[in-house]
Structure 1
Amino acid sequence: MKVGIMSDTHDNLEAIKLAVEYFNEEGVDLVLHAGDYVAPFVARELSKLSAPLKGVFGNNDGERKMLEEKLGIKDEILTLDIDGLKVVLLHGTDERVVEAFARSQMYDIVIRGHTHKYGIQEVGRTLIVNPGEVCGYITGIKSFAILNTREREIKIINLENREILGIMSI
């Protein structure tokens, strides 16, 4: 199973469009969004995904009722079983919460956003994955991640040139 992972889109419709095109080309089975859509009008681009979208709210998501209506987003923390992997998805505003999920060793993968900095970190048997920012506003790098459960790996990819920025086995 292939899972597209994104965060911090912050209303950048052109970048969202590129991410959606990539996910559709890759034939992902599911897309996870770790929050900070910002406004409900991003649903126009996200609705073009071929795969289902699951996500959580971020600290900049003010119009939550409309985001719930348009995208089905209603949680701040979401736990999932993805092809036998236990995954928790959150925005990650509070570092103590992110660290607690990782240290608990209850999850194979903790997916978070908020910092806008991409990275994969090991904490015991748990991976903390931050796909970075799709918007590219803070770091200047538009990035996202692909989780491939068959190959047991996660790749972080530069949205603009499709260069692999990081890769780790699960």
Structure 2
Amino acid sequence: MLIGIMSDTHNDIEAMKMAIAIFQSRGIKTLIHAGDITSPRMLHYLKDFECYMVLGNGDLIDSEEIDVKANELGMKSVNLKAEFDLAGKKFMVFHGHDVPMYRDAVASGKYNYIIKGHTHHFENYVSNECRIINPGAVYRHDESSIAILDIETGKVEKIVLEDL
């Protein structure tokens, strides 16, 4: 099972379309967005996926509108943190701006994967037997990137978004 992972889209429609096209071309059905979508209008790009999404610090002003739009599109409610199981693995997703939340999650030892964003830089490492993944930022930054997790092998693939 492949899972698409993205974060920090910051209203960059062209980069969002590029990321979604990559996920679709790989047959990905499940997507994790680690926050800072920053506008409810961006949510329709995610509607064809089973999507787990959290709010980032850039979403807090429009958090109610984002949650309403997510529910209209049949997505789960959007909060600051999401915890769920996929293919027998425990996930925790949050944006990353709450450092104590991150430290507590890693220290708890109860997650196989912690997904975060916020820094706009790709990360993939193991701490306390938990894989930590930050896909980087989708929006045009020094380097725009997404990640794909193969949940069966544990392999994480970084994909840099470039102009087509």
Counterpart CA distance in 2 for 1:108 and 1:161 is 34
1:24 aligns with 2:31: no
- Superposition pairs of residues 45-84 of structure 1, within 5 angstroms: 45-47=45-47, 50-61=48-59, 62-72=61-71, 73-84=77-88
1:157 Cα shift?
A: 1.4
What is the TM-score with the length of structure 2 in the denominator? 0.89
Cα offset, 1:97, TM superposition: 1.6
Partner amino acid, structure 2, of 1:144? I
- What percent identity do the matched residue pairs reach? 32
| 2: CA distance, partners of 1:112 / 1:91 | 5
> Structure 1 residue runs of 4+, over 6 Å off?
none
Q: How do 1:89-168 residues align onto structure 2 when only pairs under 5 Å count?
A: 89-137=93-141, 140-160=142-162
Alignment length, in residue pairs? 158
Which letter maps to 1:24? Q
CA distance in 2, matches of 1:116, 1:152: 22
1:21-48 Cα shifts (integer Å, max 9, x gaps) = 111111112001000011111124333x
Between structures 1 and 2, the one with greater helix share:
2
Distance 1:126 1:161 in 2: 34
Unaligned runs of 5+ in 2: 72-76
TM-score (norm 1): 0.86
Which one has more relative contact order, counting CA pairs under 8 Å at least 6 apart?
2
Q: Which residue does the alignment assign to 1:6?
A: 6
Residue 49 of structure 2 aligns with an amino acid whose one-letter code is: A
Cα RMSD for the two superposed structures: 1.6
For residues 94 and 46 of structure 1, the distance between their equivalents in structure 2, rounded to whole angstroms, comes to: 25
1:165 corresponds to: none
